[in-house]
Amino acid sequence: MKAIRLISIIFVGGLLTYLTFKSRYQTFFLEAVVWVFSMCVGIILFLWSTVQDYKNYKSSKEVLSFLPTAIAVILTVLILSVQYDINADFEKPSLLTVYYDGDFNGTGIDFKNDGTYIFQSSAVGMSNFQYGNYQIYGDKIVIDKNELENVVMTNMLEVRPGQIEYADSTRSEKFLYQLSNSGHIIDDAIEFRVVIDNRNK
């Protein structure tokens, strides 16, 4: 019985740890259902295992009786630590946030105040994330990668004013454009609309 409990704890805890690590780079809407279900099973398994370990300890007086519970606690701390680290990255103050809405898909870059960025691309319930560093010089931004998922095709970007055409009017807004090595806007490259700009605050 103890071996079965130990295997169950390692399996469920390992699955939750894997899903948590994976969520740093990719999420899928059905994954949340699996995560919640596994978490509920994990809580029930943890409580049941703790009770059984305590009963075994009372009869044997061996500290190793709490081995399954100890492993469950270690896995729980690991999961919470990873999740805290992920949340800390996303909750950093944003300097500049840009977004492109492609109807069935969307792409955005969140440039944080500390010189890091999070690139996110979403499509049909799935989101992918990439992380990196950048340097900013006024309206120009240089990122540490030359390509981001075939969406960003250069490491040189620049904020410039642009126009949005509406049915009855034209409005001026800021966009993040992709630049060639010569500093010209790359034809047919995605233009990101600036949704948050805290550079002058």
The reported pTM is 0.82
Rounded-to-integer distance, Cα 148 and Cα 114, Å: 20
Of all residues in the chain, the percent with pLDDT exceeding 70 is 96
**Average pLDDT of span 23-49:** 80
Spatial CB neighbours of 109, under 8 Å, sequence gap ≥ 6 = 97, 98, 117, 118, 119, 120, 148, 152, 176, 192
Confidence of residue 67 (pLDDT cuts 50, 70, 90): confident
Q: Which two tokens stand for residue 57?
A: 């300890």
Q: What is the mean pLDDT of the chain?
A: 87
Instruction: For 132-185, write each residue's pLDDT tens digit.
Output: 999 999 999 999 999 998 899 999 999 999 877 766 667 788 999 999 988 899
At residue 98 the predicted structure's pLDDT band, cuts being 50, 70 and 90, is very high
- φ/ψ region of 198 (left if φ > 0, alpha if ψ in -120 to 50, else beta) reads alpha
Contact 37, 102 (CB under 8 A): no
Residues 47-83 as b or e (16 or more Cβ within 10 Å = b)? eebeebbeebeeeeeeeebbbbbebbeebbeebeebe
Q: Which pLDDT tens digit goes with each residue over 9-35?
A: 888 888 888 888 988 998 887 777 777
